[in-house]
Structure 1
Amino acid sequence: MRGRRVAFQGERGAFTEEAALAYFGDSVELVPMRTLREVFSAVEGGGADYAVIPIENTLAGSVGEAYDLLLEHELRVYGEVILRVEHHLLSVEGATLEGIREVWSHPQAIDQCRRFLESLGANVVPMWNTAAAAKRLAEVRDARVAVIASRRAAEIYGLRILASHVEDDSNNYTRFFVLSKESRPPTGDDLTSIIFSTRHEPGALYRCLEPFAERRINLTKIESRPVRSRPWEYNFYVDIVGHVRDPVVSEALDALSRRATFVRVLGSYPKWRPRDAGRGQGGAGQGG
């Protein structure tokens, strides 16, 4: 994958950049973007070969915008990364914990550190990215301000760690999707992500899930998101164990397509294996 470009939302030091490095190693060029929409557009338009996006967190839940953009765009889920997220309170040299009056960070990070922030008693200001907050503080050098960001951001922007591990729970993990125009072949240890919608009638969801239960296909995730054009109707986002090319999965999806009003396969991809971190989870020999 050397020479490939990987788009992500944020600045250098963002958690999504860490996820990209965990997946690809240093063999790719990382391309920071301001918004998730720009990240999707970069891959679709050829400005990047892959994207890495946050999809859900064990404390703060799903990233709704990411799920909505998966529906809007034609990119494939190519892989996943599960990253242990460790938040730190950073400020400039000379700052003290007692002197902090304002804390900047991304809303998801703020949600994940709510108890610590309440005990600190400082004013909380949402920013578009944790690393962007760190970069801005490094520019203004205000000792009354701190940011919640990563240890990597502290190193990059020359900030000091005032408090470590300020997340509410140590079991703080974020799952990221790796996106591409390409599809992945089966590895024998895969997940498949799909979207479907049902008729608005009793038992409709049950009938759509029945083909998976009948074939003993495990669902690892199910979540509903509103259909924007139809109030009080929902799309269902589901992850299942298996690959779309597996005969039993293919049969279940065929049955689902006859019962649902809309079905789309987002992609089949290998389960995250930390032991393969930095190797692209299969590399070019696995479809790119």
Structure 2
Amino acid sequence: MKDLLESRKEIDEIDDSIIRLFEKRMEVCKNVAEYKLRTGKPVLDRQRELDKIATLKTKASDDFYAHGVEELFEQIMAMSRKMQYKLLNEEGVNNDIGFDIVDKLPTEDATVVYQGIPGAYSQQAATEYFGDKVNYVNVTTFREAMKYVRDGKADYAVLPFENSSAGIVTDVYDLLVEFQNYIVDTFDVKIEHCLCGISGATIDDIKDVYSHPQAFMQSNKFIEEHGWGKVNLANTAISARYISEQSDKSRGCIASENAANIYGLNILHKGINFNDSNTTQFIIISRQRVARRDAGLICISFEMPHASGTLYQMLSHIIYNDLNMTRIQSRPVPDKNWEYRFYVEFEGRANQPGVVNALSGINAEALNMKILGNY
């Protein structure tokens, strides 16, 4: 049996050889990138890679090594592609992701649309973000808000994106892919839900509570403790308005203190959400493909081949370019059972070389990719 130190020395020598051969291979790949630059050929030739790996696997001595060869060369080829994307970007190929850089968002005389009615948390987010020097308009649904922006009826929309207690607002995620609108900023609003009722009502009178499903999720513990029935409505402020129109002490709603004041309701209990730091992140949407100069986050969506390892390959472009991923979500792809669209947010700016490199790689290798915003 060989001495351990002797075996380790032999491994070190082999590793040194692997490094020299790896670097030699990458130098040859630079020639490939130059050829593709001259001819306009795409970096990724998936069939060529599959054929190459299949051939290399036949040269392994058993199935275990064949599987190892497959994984090893998939990584080597992925690193080769990343280097080629970088070289092409340095030569001015695909090095602009198409965002105009501005010092600040133009808001003078802007029209801002939000979903819901006065008293909605979306209205609160809109007014806190834009102030009183813009024009506000409200619509019934998130889709209508996106249409207003797309059609030029509004310059900006304010939509809820994610709640710290109840998670993402799935409809908004899906609409970001459907519409050619872009996230240009985000804004956090601390949410404090109140149980509200008509004048003279008490908690003991309540039998049914009306509100938006998200508000129910955020206040579920309080509702279940009292055993009340739940009735979904489109918006917390709509719920407040509805209850104000009833003469029924047995009906209550979950809404903000502002909504209770607007619609003349009594607050029966404040802060019924189970998380004291309950916060909703709102996104500011524009039809203009712009990014503030101080923007620090990129959000993209993509679909990919339904095969083992493909998600890792997509995310590896972010990792390889030293970018920090801050969010990942998945949503089902319509009409494709068990296939998913991924939403990824990572730190970076539209004019940052590493960002351009990562997006070039994902765009080339995903089935489709959309940049949802730089904010």
Query: TM-score w.r.t. structure 2 length?
Result: 0.70
2:238 corresponds in structure 1 to 132
Return the structure number with greater strand share: 1
1:167 to 273, 276, 282: 273
2:371 corresponds in structure 1 to 265
Q: Please say if residues 19 and 52 of structure 1, whose CA atoms lie closer than 8 Å, have aligned partners that are also in contact.
A: yes
Distance 1:105 1:233 in 2: 32
1:77 is paired with a residue whose SS is strand
Shift in Å, 1:186: 4.2
Q: Please say if residues 78 and 179 of structure 1, whose CA atoms lie closer than 8 Å, have aligned partners that are also in contact.
A: yes
Name the aligned partner's letter for residue 195 of structure 2: L
2:313 corresponds in structure 1 to 207
2:172 corresponds in structure 1 to 66
2:228 corresponds in structure 1 to 122
Shift in Å, 1:251: 1.1
1:185 to 277, 291, 311: 291
1:230 to 307, 313, 336: 336
1:99 to 176, 189, 205: 205
Return the structure number with greater helix share: 2
2:315 is paired with a residue whose SS is helix
Shift in Å, 1:91: 1.1
Shift in Å, 1:248: 1.4
2:136 is paired with a residue whose SS is strand
Q: Please say if residues 291 and 350 of structure 2, whose CA atoms lie closer than 8 Å, have aligned partners that are also in contact.
A: no
Name the aligned partner's letter for residue 228 of structure 1: P
1:252 corresponds in structure 2 to 358
Shift in Å, 1:66: 0.7
Identical pairs, percent: 38
Shift in Å, 1:188: 3.4
Query: Relative to structure 1, is the Cα distance of residues 47 and 260 closer, same or farther in structure 2, using a 3 angstrom cutoff?
Result: same
2:100 corresponds in structure 1 to none
Alignment of 1:42-61 (within 5 A): 42-61=148-167
2:323 corresponds in structure 1 to 217
Name the aligned partner's letter for residue 5 of structure 1: T
Alpha-carbon RMSD across the aligned residues, in angstroms, is 1.2
Distance 1:129 1:250 in 2: 39
CA deviations 1:136-194 (Å, max 9, x no partner) are 11122322211100011011111111000000111211111110112333433411110
Name the aligned partner's letter for residue 91 of structure 1: G
Shift in Å, 1:3: 2.3
1:4 and 2:110 matched: yes
Distance 1:175 1:185 in 2: 19
1:35 and 2:150 matched: no
2:258 corresponds in structure 1 to 152
Distance 1:34 1:185 in 2: 28
1:212 is paired with a residue whose SS is helix
Query: TM-score w.r.t. structure 1 length?
Result: 0.90
Q: Please say if residues 184 and 291 of structure 2, whose CA atoms lie closer than 8 Å, have aligned partners that are also in contact.
A: no
Name the aligned partner's letter for residue 19 of structure 1: A
Bigger mean CA deviation after superposition, 150-159 or 186-195: 186-195
Distance 2:264 2:213 in 1: 23
Distance 1:135 1:194 in 2: 37
Shift in Å, 1:53: 0.8
Name the aligned partner's letter for residue 248 of structure 1: G
1:75 corresponds in structure 2 to 181
1:21 to 114, 119, 127: 127
Q: Please say if residues 186 and 245 of structure 1, whose CA atoms lie closer than 8 Å, have aligned partners that are also in contact.
A: no
Query: Relative to structure 1, is the Cα distance of residues 2 and 158 closer, same or farther in structure 2, using a 3 angstrom cutoff?
Result: farther
Higher relative contact order (CA 8 A, sep 6+): 1
Distance 1:75 1:140 in 2: 39
Query: Relative to structure 1, is the Cα distance of residues 151 and 103 closer, same or farther in structure 2, using a 3 angstrom cutoff?
Result: same
Bigger mean CA deviation after superposition, 2-11 or 61-70: 2-11
2:5 corresponds in structure 1 to none
1:185 is paired with a residue whose SS is strand
Distance 1:158 1:103 in 2: 17
Q: Please say if residues 197 and 234 of structure 1, whose CA atoms lie closer than 8 Å, have aligned partners that are also in contact.
A: yes
Name the aligned partner's letter for residue 184 of structure 1: V
